Amino acid sequence: MKGNKYIEREGKAATKIYDNRSLEKDFRTLKSVLKEGMIVLDVGCGTGAISKDVAKIVGDNGKVIGIDNTKKFIESGKESYKKINNLKLIHSDLFSFESEEKFDLIIAARVLQWLTHPKEALIKLKGLLKPNGQISILDYNHEKLEWHPSPPKSMKTFYDIFLKWRKDAGMNNKIAEDLSALMTEVGFHSVEVFNSNEYYERGDENFQSKVGIWSKVAGLNQIVEEGYIENEYRLQVIKEYDEWVKKEAISMTMKLNEVRGKKLKK
Ligand SMILES: C[S@@+](CC[C@H](N)C(=O)[O-])C[C@H]1O[C@@H](n2cnc3c(N)ncnc32)[C@H](O)[C@@H]1O
């Protein structure tokens, strides 16, 4: 899976990004679903930063299992959250994960965007749920990213290339829009969509690093190695964008939806 190749390479930086995530900031709409005593699976949990917040809410009568197929994220999370007794982190790919215990709730934040077979992932998740169980998927519509004011032309060109690279690799750039239809297709009911956009404005804490994410993406060697962009142009993209973030950027909105669905009683 392409997404993972890049994450592996960007190991340390990505570990830090995922460690800084929280339920409150990065999966805020999920809170209304969480109940004490729930058994929860967090698929593609990264380092488990969001999983550990979920574990606090479900309490000692409940538990959270987080799985991720990037070993270093799981190793880092096991160390950071070793004192949280009702959280278990496992290095596993979703498609090979088996569990005798079924789940009340399965969550997957920012994961299906990387999969070439998101429908098969939903079928797999359905099999891991208890009857009446619920899934909650948080994901992006990369086609609707908004910058204000417009960033340098070089970044806009790069962003189009990035979306093409993803599309060519079989990833869905607007998975957030397509999730509700996919869930219905595989047999979930009571499918609901919640707007979970992320809005960053100058003056916000972490504004530069949040908006600066696109120079990190432009820094990925893979897009150059696969012949999508010349290295020299990529360096220009990064330089001009960093300058824009420092001096001109006012806001950026990443478009996300949380999409929930329920499994039938039997
Ligand atoms: C963008 S990160 C999101 C991490 C976390 N859920 C969050 O929102 O901060 C996507 C994660 O999904 C994991 N992942 C991707 N494909 C996976 C698969 N097939 N099985 C398990 N984990 C996967 C990656 O290793 C990565 O940690």
Pocket test for ligand 1, best of 114, 120, 125, 137 (most atoms within 8 A of CB): 114
DSSP single-letter state for residue 37: T
What percent of the chain shows pLDDT beyond 70?
Answer: 95
Token pair listed for 114: 């990387």
DSSP symbols for 188-223 = -EEEEEEE--EEEETTSTTHHHHHTHHHHHHT-HHH
Residue 102 three-state SS: coil
Ligand 1: does its nearest atom lie under 6 Å from the Cβ of 15? no
pLDDT one-digit tens code per residue, 68-118: 999 999 999 999 999 999 999 999 999 999 999 999 999 999 999 999 999
Amino acid at the residue 133: G
pLDDT one-digit tens code per residue, 217-227: 999 888 999 99
Ligand 1: does its nearest atom lie under 6 Å from the Cβ of 125? no
Higher pLDDT, 50 or 4: 50
User: What pLDDT does residue 11 have?
Assistant: 60
**What global pTM score does this model have?**
0.93
pLDDT one-digit tens code per residue, 2-14: 344 444 445 666 7
Ligand 1: does its nearest atom lie under 6 Å from the Cβ of 165? no
Pocket test for ligand 1, best of 12, 111, 258 (most atoms within 8 A of CB): 111
